[in-house]
Amino acid sequence: MERLQKIIARAGLASRREAERWIEEGRITVNGTVISKLGSQADPFKDSIKVDGKRIKSAAAPLYYAFHKPPGVITTLNDPQHRPDITPYISRLGEKRRVFPVGRLDYNTTGLLLLTNDGDLALRLSHPRFGVTKVYRVKLSSCPTQEDFARLREGIRLEDGMSAPARARVVEKLKTNAWVEIEVHEGRKREVRRMFEALGYFVEKLVRIRVGTIELGHLPLGELRPLTQSEIKSLQVAVGLAKERPGAARQRAFAAPKKRGGHHGRRAI
């Protein structure tokens, strides 16, 4: 017996959090009975489990993708307001490769979005307790000061509490504005935008360029690519689902830093 949200997530239909919402909305039935209580369990091999009247299939092999989310797209598979969502992009993978987004990017935010049918990994990557690093490139209305960066390192007071300390730096100073890179470890709604707005800046463009060790790189806008085995392992290690092989951390510590030129995924900006 397993919790329903775990069964649904492993089937690649939704993240665990999304599956919990479906349960509360009464969209799940087990052997013909509507289940609306969180924590309810079922046997995925014996019970008839349906979502919106459609029986879910057995869990597929785990899938992991990087997606370059375009602007003007909602990070969901079914938007009740019928706004453009990521479904058309995921459908290119075919019916047998069903994945869901890990976390969210705002409507107008572009950049790296991870997709998977691995509910355990998705839950941990999204949970602030595991502190998975997310790195963004931000185009601001003017160039921040060192005092602003110091405030970011201390945390910014937002309407839902203090933000966790964040590191930021200017990567390109333009005539009237600037590109800034910021590293955060939380996943609050619109957090990066709200942090800079609290400092008095307008966010003109926002691009996520890295999650953990997974980089956007030159992945074209609107395209997907499968993660490599080493990338998958690095995410699993970051959230405690796998152990790092002996000596790997030491090798990274002595590895020469990569030279970076320009903006990751500049074409998306």
Catalytic site positions: 106
Structure tokens, 160: 């839902």
- Angle in degrees, 0-180, between the axes of helices 16-24 and 119-126, rounded to the nearest 10: 100
Nearest Cα neighbor of 221 from 165, 263, 159 is: 263
Q: With residue 211 as reference, give the H or E element that holds it.
A: strand 203-211
Nearest Cα neighbor of 265 from 228, 202, 214, 203 is: 214
Measure the CA–CA gap between 73 and 70, rounded to whole angstroms: 6
By the 10 Å C-beta count (0-12 exposed, 13-18 middle, 19+ buried), 188 is classed as middle
Residue with tokens 């690649």: 12
Which ranges of the chain would DSSP assign to H, the alpha helix?
4-10, 16-24, 87-90, 119-126, 146-154, 191-198, 229-238, 248-254
Residue 17: partners with Cβ closer than 8 Å, 6 or more residues away: 123, 126
